Chains A and B, each alone.
Chain A
Amino acid sequence: MTLLTVDGLTVHFRIRRGLLKGSDDVVHAVDDVSFALAQGETFALVGESGCGKSTVARAVLQLVRPTSGSIRFMDQDVAALKGGARRKMLRDAQVVFQDPYSSLNPRMTVHSLVAEPLRANTKLSARELEDRVLSLLEMVGLGTQHLWRRPHEFSGGQCQRIAIARALALDPKLVVLDEPTSALDVSVQARILVLLDELQRHLGLAYLFIAHDLAVVQSMAKSIAVMYLGQVAEQGPAADVFGEPRHPYTVALLNSSPSPDPEARATMRVLEGDVPSAVRPPAGCRFHPRCPYRMPICEREYPEPQRVGSRMIACHLPEDFDLSSAGATIAREVTAVAH
């Protein structure tokens, strides 16, 4: 069953430029993003800073108002929800942020942190509340001995567990995970990923997973969208997109992510330049100034996303263009020969 449908989502922010003249500029944070997320599944948004992945999540959570496009959650248009229906929707969609120390109130105990959403939204008796708090903590691998401590007494991984317990308190259908392990060490990251995977299977949760680390995304998500400067470059099943990337940006992203296998050492074909400003994004394909295969048309026309097999690709290159032989080879093969 489809839980969340995002269709043509566009979010622009107005910013004021200049002190006296009120000339407004527009940040094109997200342009025309569409995807669907089924119950119990994970959809991931991947990309570098400023690509708009968090803005998509914030729009889904109604923390920012979309400029255009629609978001349907459990068959309801979220923009039209008011009052109690809106509050119900917000209970069903929860979020875990990157930095657990800044998302937990340092003056509250673990008990009050986890009990807070229950107190605000339910009419549980004191007894039921205790039971629920304890079972939530147990679910994320914490125990009674942690109940009366405050966030500073915990490690980053434990704080993230508290944040997850809080997010799960109201039995949500959807959890937005915004870089949930980026601030953690790898051994702690592994434990949080394992926990999230178990919770998903036991509770049937849907995850909207936002990350910049391709390896993390690959291990968590079935389908993904690779974003660049507010637009989706390539979208489809994770195995296909990572296995045989068809957009030059996906290829570049994969090539730049360092593999932990020293034998897969790359003659890394590195992308030149920086990500341009989203205030005046490049005309045509927004990736064209950094694209090794740019053609004249790329500077003029935005490549409408095309369906190619299982995925959507926004690129002017012909469908049968061989990205791997054109020099942007995935490192593994190159060094395999060198060895």
Chain B
Amino acid sequence: MSSATPSTHLSARDAGAPAELLAVHDLRLQFRSMRGLVKALDGVDLTLHDGEILGLVGESGCGKTITGLAILGLLQRPQAEITSGTIAYRGDDLLIKSDAQMQKLRGRDISMVFQDPLASLNPVFAVGKQIEDVVRLHKGISRREARGVTFEALASVGLPADKDTFKRYPHQFSGGMRQRVCMAMALACGSPLLIADEPTTALDVTIQAQILNLLLKLRDELGVAQILITHNVGVAAQTCDRIAVMYAGSVVEAGPVGDVLNRPRHPYTIALYQCLPHGRTANELQTIPGSVPDLIDPPTGCRFHPRCSHVMERCSAEKPRPVAVAERHSVSCFWAAERAGIPLDAELPPRSDTGAGLEAGATA
């Protein structure tokens, strides 16, 4: 990918190559519910480098949004409990920060935009004031200075930077424009990392294309690194530098977008791609047998094994660790590893270990 140049050596985790902005490592998270504990995240590993767009792709309930919210510390405790793992932002573990520290960090270092822009904006304040408030809170500058920053933010997302835009209320904008307002607010304080959760799902395709182009422009011109959460493989294919495919609470495959989508290794990624109706008539469509597991009582071992067409005895007994099948391309699957000729046992340390084997696999 021509656009993937800012981060060529992702494997060089400690070699001082392009700075690692965010590293999620073995994140496990559960929710308390009336029916029992929902094991929502089961060891998520993600790495994001400066100026890179990482796509988090998967179907409903796979944990992609939860991962985003966990990074921002937006999950309600004690209902949500992170049981293990680290989320390192520029080497700093976010999980040990206080609420007040996280409050400062949100909007200044890491921002988020959501699927429904109308629900994320306050309907009774003009949008300019809402952006200005965020700027003043984080930067502690005068209203006059904040107004200048607000205009710049509006311009950076392609909205007219004038008083008229400033004074308008959310309902006076179209869906696409509202999403631009949300992005202006997210970026007004210059945060280097934007988490975009299904930012185009509520929009029409021609408007979606405008917003996706804007994401690319933010990456290229302002160097904003992004985590793009989407269920739409096409959106990820057209926008991301790297993607991580999630299934039932784990990342099953991660790597450069071209490798993962054009040469998928994990049986789930392969099956998901064959479900897409693009260029297939209905009788040529492939389907995945069974349905997504209930995460209160998830399958043992690899959570995909009951639906997998390449299931082996080992799959139900232990959870496969990520292994590098190609440069920067990692897969958590015994079958895929065997196919790639990787001696599994050498790569896979015992489960409790968080040592070298995983490092090599998860970030390579």
Q: Which residues of A contact B (CB under 8 A)?
A: 48-49, 155-157, 185-191, 193-194, 196-197, 212-216, 218-220, 252-253, 255-266, 268, 270-272, 274-275, 338
Which residues of B are found within 8 Å of A215, using beta-carbon distances?
A: 234, 276-279
Closest Cβ neighbor of A271 among chain B residues: B206
A219 → B minimal CB distance (Å): 4
Is the pair B231, A261 in contact by a Cβ cutoff of 8 Å?
no
Closest Cβ neighbor of B216 among chain A residues: A268
* A268 in complex: contacting residue of B2, B231, B238, CB < 8 Å: B238
* A260 in complex: contacting residue of B59, B210, B212, B233, CB < 8 Å: B233
Which residues of A are found within 8 Å of B2, using beta-carbon distances?
A: 338
Is the pair A187, B206 in contact by a Cβ cutoff of 8 Å?
no
- CB contact under 8 A between A48 and B1, given known A259-B278, A260-B276, A262-B238: no
Whether B326 sits at the interface, judged by CB under 8 Å, is: no
Segment of B66-74, B137-145, B254-262, B309-317 in the binding face: B254-262
A274 CA to B176 CA, complexed, in Å: 8
Q: Would you mind naming 28 contact pairs between A and B with Cβ atoms under 8 Å apart?
A: A155-B292, A185-B231, A186-B59, A186-B276, A190-B275, A190-B288, A193-B282, A194-B285, A197-B281, A212-B205, A213-B277, A215-B277, A218-B277, A218-B279, A219-B284, A220-B277, A253-B206, A256-B205, A258-B209, A258-B235, A259-B237, A262-B1, A262-B261, A264-B237, A270-B206, A270-B209, A272-B210, A275-B204
A234 CA to B334 CA, complexed, in Å: 50
A257 CA to B203 CA, complexed, in Å: 12
Is the pair A259, B208 in contact by a Cβ cutoff of 8 Å?
no
Which residues of B are found within 8 Å of A157, using beta-carbon distances?
A: 291
Is the pair A196, B59 in contact by a Cβ cutoff of 8 Å?
no
Contact count A vs B, C-beta below 8 Å: 136
Say what secondary structure dominates the interface of chain B. helix
Closest Cβ neighbor of A185 among chain B residues: B59
* A265 in complex: contacting residue of B233, B237, B279, B284, CB < 8 Å: B237
A48 CA to B209 CA, complexed, in Å: 13
A197 CA to B208 CA, complexed, in Å: 29
Which residues of B are found within 8 Å of A185, using beta-carbon distances?
A: 59-60, 231
Is the pair B205, A257 in contact by a Cβ cutoff of 8 Å?
yes
A25 CA to B278 CA, complexed, in Å: 41
Query: Restricting to B231-257, which residues have a CB under 8 Å from any CB of A?
Result: 231-235, 237-239, 257
A195 → B minimal CB distance (Å): 9
Whether B8 sits at the interface, judged by CB under 8 Å, is: no
- CB contact under 8 A between A187 and B278, given known A252-B206, A263-B258, A270-B209: no
Q: Which of B204, B208, B213 has the most CB of A within 10 A?
A: B204
Which residues of B are found within 8 Å of A187, using beta-carbon distances?
A: 59, 271-272, 275, 287-288
Query: Restricting to B262-294, which residues have a CB under 8 Å from any CB of A?
Result: 262, 271-273, 275-288, 291-292
Which residues of B are found within 8 Å of A264, using beta-carbon distances?
A: 237
Is the pair A189, B257 in contact by a Cβ cutoff of 8 Å?
no
Whether B177 sits at the interface, judged by CB under 8 Å, is: yes
Say what secondary structure dominates the interface of chain A. helix
Is the pair A194, B234 in contact by a Cβ cutoff of 8 Å?
no
Which residues of A are found within 8 Å of B238, using beta-carbon distances?
A: 258-259, 262, 265-266, 268
B275 → A minimal CB distance (Å): 4
B246 → A minimal CB distance (Å): 12
* A193 in complex: contacting residue of B177, B239, B285, CB < 8 Å: B285
Whether B174 sits at the interface, judged by CB under 8 Å, is: yes
Which residues of A are found within 8 Å of B234, using beta-carbon distances?
A: 215, 257-260
A190 CA to B210 CA, complexed, in Å: 27
A218 CA to B234 CA, complexed, in Å: 15
Is the pair A256, B258 in contact by a Cβ cutoff of 8 Å?
no
Which residues of A are found within 8 Å of B273, using beta-carbon distances?
A: 260
A220 CA to B292 CA, complexed, in Å: 25
Which residues of B are found within 8 Å of A220, using beta-carbon distances?
A: 277, 282
Whether B88 sits at the interface, judged by CB under 8 Å, is: no
- CB contact under 8 A between A274 and B207, given known A189-B275, A216-B277: yes
Is the pair A262, B237 in contact by a Cβ cutoff of 8 Å?
yes
Which residues of A are found within 8 Å of B277, using beta-carbon distances?
A: 189-190, 193, 213, 215-216, 218-220
- CB contact under 8 A between A271 and B209, given known A218-B277, A219-B281: yes
A257 CA to B207 CA, complexed, in Å: 10
Q: Which of B177, B212, B213, B238 has the most CB of A within 10 A?
A: B238
Which residues of B are found within 8 Å of A186, using beta-carbon distances?
A: 59, 231, 233, 272, 275-276
Is the pair A190, B206 in contact by a Cβ cutoff of 8 Å?
no
A49 CA to B175 CA, complexed, in Å: 11
Is the pair A262, B262 in contact by a Cβ cutoff of 8 Å?
yes
A262 CA to B233 CA, complexed, in Å: 10
Is the pair A256, B206 in contact by a Cβ cutoff of 8 Å?
yes
- CB contact under 8 A between A48 and B204, given known A258-B212, A258-B235, A262-B237: yes
A259 CA to B271 CA, complexed, in Å: 17
* A196 in complex: contacting residue of B176, B204, B282, CB < 8 Å: B282
Q: Which of B206, B210, B262, B288 has the most CB of A within 10 A?
A: B206
A247 → B minimal CB distance (Å): 14
